[in-house]
Structure 1
């Protein structure tokens, strides 16, 4: 599919949030997937990932995850300065603000004539956590979470008992969890902790551990694995085609 792209600023309880929308040029209504970025916001690799997914018949919505903390349009570099800023933002914004961001996106995009009203979530790194977090909202029907950080360690700010690990039992969406075994950000013990929580709470999930490093999907840098990336784009497409393409 040929796609189109536009920016849409929406109102959230914590300020204006820019969302970039990638969607088919074809007429009609399509399922929506919130695609959450890593700490650098919408870099060129994130934009290309969103375009790939949109070309399979989805409306892909990329929010600026740190919109409260940066001017609209901010993109951080893949360098020490960008990493330090992004990590500072990550440890500043509370999880509750991401929850209200998700509600704001659901409220806005369900009213658009190009959306079917079926919603999923997807993300990488911090965004993998945010895709998992978004699935706490019952409107999210499926979540594809790639090397999701900070779930096992409960290191993102939130109110007591409101961390994503503890609230796993509330997730009704189908989950796909993807991990790189050579990823130092989520070690074996952390992955096992999340897996056990999903089993003990009887969630509907698929689990993949691959020989890959953190950010193996990112098509810049020396950790990129093109073969793995292609395989997991295909799995993401299959998940959303199966769970979101319902009669409306």
Structure 2
């Protein structure tokens, strides 16, 4: 079983609480910065981080809304179903809207700096991955740290929200796994064109039959086939790009 712990990351705006999972047995491991979806750090995210740690990675999941308090920033039901979702989203939207690109990059600097100081983290490049809004944060982080971020993965995330220029500077190998309900094949084509124009080495696909949030087993969007496809894409990407840090 992987080890795990709660940590506090110094940032220019305070201390960000975070969850970390990493392999048992000592040693140093390649790092993955994992951005949660808008619902934040909760049992399903801890489970996913531990799953990834079991494959040999140090996984850090920051509470991106730490300015409003420690996770969970809002009270969440155990299962975020259709009835509960509107009220939860209504509470979250002001937090998401306040989390500007400037804040994202200021925090990303702090998160990556923190990772390099952890005794369980191997020197070398890192990966960033994210879900829902976390996919956009991961993409911004990869663009801002081309020398450090070797892999980028985003799932059911609005990765094109910042426009095509947002991909400029990304040197990471990337995978984007889209929900079928989130974009059309035509939109996917335009996104691929923007990624190609920016010179990003990537795979980008719509996961069949999926709705927004398909990786999250505590929501009614969950799709077990989509989650498996996510692991089938993510793990080889990390293995290719971070193998030298093992």
TM-score, normalisation: structure 2: 0.89
Residues 247 and 148 of structure 1: is their aligned pair in 2 closer, same or farther, counting only changes over 3 Å? closer
CA deviation string 1:204-244 (max 9, x = no partner): 11112121111111112332111221121132111111111
- 2:202 pairs with one of 200, 205, 217: 205
Residues 220 and 74 of structure 1: is their aligned pair in 2 closer, same or farther, counting only changes over 3 Å? closer
Unpaired stretches in structure 2, ≥5 consecutive residues: none
Distance in structure 2 (CA, Å) of the matches to 1:52 and 1:244: 17
Distance in structure 1 (CA, Å) of the matches to 2:153 and 2:99: 22
1:15 aligns with 2:14: yes
Q: Which moved more, 1:235-244 or 1:71-80?
A: 71-80
Distance in structure 1 (CA, Å) of the matches to 2:70 and 2:33: 18
Within-5 A mapping of 1:46-65: 46-65=45-64
Q: What is aligned with 2:139?
A: 132
Q: What is aligned with 1:159?
A: none
Distance in structure 1 (CA, Å) of the matches to 2:35 and 2:112: 14
CA deviation string 1:90-142 (max 9, x = no partner): 11121111111111111122122210133100111001111111111121110
Shift in Å, 1:31: 0.5
Q: What is aligned with 2:227?
A: 229
Bigger fraction of residues in helix: 2
Question: RMSD value over aligned CA atoms?
Answer: 1.7
Unpaired stretches in structure 1, ≥5 consecutive residues: 155-163
CA deviation string 1:24-46 (max 9, x = no partner): 11211101101101111112221
Q: Are the equivalent residues in 2 in contact too, given 1:152–1:190 (CA < 8 A)? A: no
Residues 188 and 75 of structure 1: is their aligned pair in 2 closer, same or farther, counting only changes over 3 Å? farther
Distance in structure 2 (CA, Å) of the matches to 1:247 and 1:30: 7
Within-5 A mapping of 1:161-176: 165-176=164-175
Distance in structure 1 (CA, Å) of the matches to 2:245 and 2:50: 24
> SS at the partner of 1:228?
helix
TM-score, normalisation: structure 1: 0.88
